[in-house]
Amino acid sequence: GWVIFLLTVCIYIPAMHGGFIWDDDQVLTHNDLTRASDGLYRIWFTTEPTDYFPLVFSAFWLEWRLWGMNAAGYHVVNILLHAAASLLVWRVLKKLNVPGAWPAGLIFAIHPVNVESVAWITQLKNTLPMSLYLSAILAYLNFDSSNRRRWYLLAVGLFLLALLAKTSVVMMPVVLLGCAWWRRGSVSRTDVKRSIPFFALSLVLGLVTVWFQY
């Protein structure tokens, strides 16, 4: 695991020297919501943001108070989140007994297709929900193995946070059913019942996002 983590950080060191690009000004450096003292309230409870990704915008609000115009701080956060997601890819696949889990995590860590999400500050809206999404799947798989309710509640909570970071993770309930099929060769009624809260969260937050953007 440490090999994946350290290799990811080493590969992305050049990104730490990058600046603000493209719409980083609109989302971060020139965004009133990020700079305002009442920004958190406006992020969560008004229609001022460009999208309803309140967790991501809240993270930017906090980061602005930590790093200000120092772009390196934002880059470090994105890199660490990507490294964490790469470890989670490995752990999820290993939990599912998928052959080649470790190489898959390594490939995800270093593949060029992820560079845009990691090296572009605004794409915290990809790195943060990805980490939460994979954490939710891993928690659910732990519940599926142990039947301990706390893992199930943790999975639901992490999925909610992932949705609040970016609703593109709405398909996770389908992924959970796919994991059940992979493990047992079929999807039982129990598996479907367990997925209902996840489908409900996907529906509600998906509709909120559609309404918000409309």
pLDDT tens, 23-75? 899 899 999 999 999 999 999 999 998 889 999 999 999 999 999 999 999 99
| 26-30, 123-127, 141-145, 158-162: range with lowest mean pLDDT | 26-30
The model's confidence at residue 213, banded by pLDDT at 50, 70 and 90, is confident
Start-to-end C-alpha separation, the chain: 43
Query: Residue 195: is its pLDDT beyond 90?
Result: yes
* Dihedral angle sign, alpha carbons of residues 77, 78, 81, 83: negative
Average pLDDT over residues 153-165: 98
What does pTM read for this prediction? 0.94
Mean pLDDT of the chain: 95
What's the CA angle centered on 24, arms 19 and 27, to 5 degrees?
150
pLDDT at 127 over 90: yes
